[in-house]
A and B are shown apart, each in its own frame.
Chain A
């Protein structure tokens, strides 16, 4: 585990030294507000809850999280610092998880900055704090899954743009597979168990329950195992990259 904290510290410093971090946070906050109040007609729903706020997160993350993750490894390889980082006496697994954790923390910070939403619903009524807490937890876990995928695609290329596009496509598939319209289409062609299976792999179907305040251990396991498995693949990709 040695090396874990220094790497997280350095990554976070790298985020906040570049203007991209501030641009990201501002866009994230504006997009959140825009989706909730304009697209989601928050006031018309007449509910003091954050359900609508969280409803759009799978779609927001689709573009924003790959933007956070695309530089994780691509930049390291492009500038040659990978050769330094990977010749320090630190296990590759530690390095991969540390870099991921830094990005995840950064997204977590952005998520915390949406706290005015909590004020708003408290001002408008007396919301149930359970779904708010689980909503944030679920959203954070889901962001982690997106980021793990972005980290993986970032390790496959020196080019950040390619990394971004790849991870958007993979995440899009994982979001769409839980989409009602797609399930119905699949149902008409394939047996029901098939479309069920497809939607089981989706971010949205697992996030929906948590968003509503229902914490099923299986949903948590889903997100955590996506993160762990994808990051392990990330380690293997980096290893095989160097080997060939």
Chain B
């Protein structure tokens, strides 16, 4: 649905996007991850034909962004970064305007506006001036605008930026819901979001792709992958730490917390990031240890993120 071929963008002397290539297939949600200024927004602006690329090409549903920009725009619903909309219009008026510009009229226009208002729960503010809306409602108004023509591809630039946790949750649910019918590219710098909604993730830094894979694949790069955190009650914490260090499936032990009432909390790193929870459980059972806490880490995305995007 989206196929990007060594897309580059140069602003004066700054290479904002450097030979980026990727593909998003039908029904996928690709999370576009990167620090501020990594080139996420620039890439999206090129895909929506807002700015032309310096070199490279991309195809949306088979239409080239260089040769068929109008057809490309018909296939895309776009939520720009700051969710802009016209302050002096009512929500309903604004959506009607967008529907008209997209070529709808009469009953079909009413039906479509009705559907997106329903989908984005804008019923209560339909007759309110956009100027007076809260950030969350503005975001949803702009999202509604992107859904009007039921586009096969959605490009959402930081859709949850500036929302409160409830609103974030709502927007994420909405995005997940929509992924059944749409191919979605979302950019974000919120890592939890990627784990919450994306089927695939791409990390870019300084305009280059530095990581690509499912969220789980990226997590497996973390040094915390399959590490186990345990809290045990024991009279002699020092000795205990040593004991764990001797185990053949444990690579190293990290003492995490100061002991309080003889409770030791430590993190055990496995050899080669293998899963050690079964072996460890057996061992603790035999040892008749007094277990207070036991958790396996899938890996920390923020640590992988820093690893891949750190400025050297």
Instruction: Return the CB mask of B1-22 against A: 1 if under 8 Å, else 0.
Output: 0000000000110000000000
Interface presence of B70 (CB below 8 A): yes
Interface presence of B303 (CB below 8 A): no
Contact yes or no, B11 A13, CB < 8 A? no
Contact yes or no, A10 B80, CB < 8 A? no
Q: Which residue of A lies closest to B142 (CB)?
A: A84
Contact yes or no, B89 A10, CB < 8 A? yes
Interface presence of A89 (CB below 8 A): yes
Interface presence of B84 (CB below 8 A): yes
Cβ contact of A83, chosen from B52, B80, B93, B102, cutoff 8 A: B80
Give the distance to chain B from A96, nearest Cβ to Cβ, in Å: 15
Are A13 and B89 also in contact (CB < 8 A) when A7-B101, A83-B45, A243-B52 are? yes
Contact yes or no, A18 B88, CB < 8 A? yes
Interface presence of B145 (CB below 8 A): yes
What is the size, in residues, of chain B's interface with A at 8 Å between Cβ atoms? 32
Contact yes or no, B87 A9, CB < 8 A? no
Contact yes or no, A9 B102, CB < 8 A? no
Interface presence of A6 (CB below 8 A): yes
Assembled-state Cα–Cα distance A74/B252 (Å): 60
Q: Which residues does chain B contribute within 8 Å of A18, judged by CB atoms?
A: 88
Assembled-state Cα–Cα distance A242/B87 (Å): 23
Interface presence of A79 (CB below 8 A): yes
Interface presence of A2 (CB below 8 A): yes
Assembled-state Cα–Cα distance A243/B66 (Å): 13
Q: Which residues does chain A contribute within 8 Å of B98, judged by CB atoms?
A: 88
Cβ contact of A87, chosen from B11, B73, B87, B100, cutoff 8 A: B73
Q: Which residues does chain B contribute within 8 Å of A84, judged by CB atoms?
A: 78, 80, 84-85, 142, 145
Q: Which residues does chain A contribute within 8 Å of B101, judged by CB atoms?
A: 2-3, 6-7, 88, 90
Interface presence of A116 (CB below 8 A): no
Interface presence of A41 (CB below 8 A): no
Binding site for A on B (CB under 8 A): 11-12, 45, 48-52, 70-71, 73-74, 76, 78, 80-82, 84-89, 93, 97-98, 100-103, 142, 145
The 9 closest A-B pairs by CB, nearest first: A80-B84, A6-B100, A17-B88, A89-B73, A83-B80, A242-B51, A81-B84, A87-B48, A6-B101
25 A-B pairs, CB-CB below 8 angstroms?
A3-B101, A6-B101, A7-B101, A9-B97, A10-B86, A13-B89, A14-B86, A14-B89, A17-B88, A80-B81, A80-B82, A81-B84, A83-B45, A83-B84, A84-B145, A86-B50, A87-B48, A87-B76, A87-B78, A89-B74, A90-B101, A91-B70, A242-B50, A243-B51, A244-B12
